[in-house]
Amino acid sequence: MPNQLKVVTYTNLNVIQCLETLLEQARMGKITGICYVVKHAPYHHSMGVVGRYLENPISGKRMAEKLVNVLECRAQSMETWG
């Protein structure tokens, strides 16, 4: 197998650390459901729902709405400074 050079940016490190923390918590049984959106490249995304949020979509929907509100507030604050 040839040697591979992996370029890890600061943003990638934050993503990796977040995923590793989530994985560790899930393995300990502290996370039982996830709603997610993943950005792969410009204009390419995927999303999904697993675990308890899939079993109880009303609960997942509530949390997804809270996430949308957080993103809207952040976007509005960025537009104010733009």
Rounded Cα–Cα distance for residues 11 and 31 (Å): 24
Number of structural domains in the chain: 1
What is the extent of the structural domain holding 76?
10-81
pTM for the model: 0.73
Q: Which residues contact 64 (CB under 8 A, 6 or more apart)?
A: 35
pLDDT in tens, 4-46: 666 667 778 889 999 999 999 999 999 999 999 999 988 899 9
In a domain, 1, yes or no: no
In a domain, 28, yes or no: yes
In a domain, 72, yes or no: yes
In a domain, 5, yes or no: no
In a domain, 2, yes or no: no
Rounded Cα–Cα distance for residues 6 and 74 (Å): 31
Q: Which two tokens stand for residue 17?
A: 């650390």
